[in-house]
Amino acid sequence: MLLVIDVGNTTTVIGIFDDDSEGKLIAHWRLSSILHTPDELGIYILNLLSTQNIKANEIHGAAFASVVPPLNFSIREAVKKYFHVTALEVNGLTDTGMEIRYLAKREVGADRVVNAVAGREKYGAPLIVADYGTAITFDVVSPDGAYIGGAIAPGLNSAIGALFSNTAQLPKVALEIPTSVIGHNTNEAIQSGVLIGNAGLTDHIIDLIREELKVDAKVVATGGHAPLMAKVSRNIDYVDPWLMLEGLKFIYNRLNNK
């Protein structure tokens, strides 16, 4: 089995892929991104696997991508000590099989490249990947299959947190779609501004990207808030919450000739 780990600023997603020919995602967990020692992290993962009756010796490979550098050492050491494999660390310089046409390749986040690889593999090119996490990222795969860049905006929780932290009377509200754009209380007004507002941001950026590409590229949404945003955006064609995990699998298999 293959262990994959996607370390984000807010959440860490862990997945297990089966060894069969289809390589199905058989288990996944979405956790808070908290700094751990290698032992803490190793035991944590072992406990998660035990809930699915997966033993440590069934893990034959591992891959991870991280936007939280302080966690990288713990992940590498935990995987080595508790699963006896060397984890593949995927970053902007990894041979993913995708050409990177970004002016500063070292600056592009590993998560963005991995999403693009998985999106191209599953949905073809050209493609726009919208990832709804701590930040909202739009990543573009050109018609000939290269990663060419995108856009970054504050995420939904980041926007609500900023309102709560920087104002005296606005509450921190739950992310729920309001019944109308015109909020009839403060909670509804914030939900409208954040959710409907970000749907407008999503649709406008996608429209402009399509204009620049001169082609009607498909759009896949991923990340924890993707299902929610798909309900209020008119431009999202597919929802794939575990796209990042599949990208790590594709890259691992490529580099191990599977």
Active-site residue, from 6, 20, 95, 111: 111
CA gap 34, 180 in Å, rounded: 37
Alpha-carbon 8 to chain mean position: 8
> For residue 140, what are its two tokens?
């573009």
* 111 carries an active-site annotation: yes
Q: Mutual orientation of helices 69-83 and 38-50 as an angle, nearest 10°?
A: 60
Residue 85: what residue type? V
In 24-175 the beta strands, taken as DSSP E runs, fall at 25-32, 61-66, 88-89, 127-132, 135-141, 147-154
For the chain, helix, strand, coil in percent to 5 are 40, 20, 35
Residues 6+ apart with CB under 8 A from 72: 7, 64, 66, 89
- How many other C-beta atoms are found inside a 10 Å radius of the C-beta of residue 228? 20
Report, as residue numbers or ranges, the catalytic residues: 111
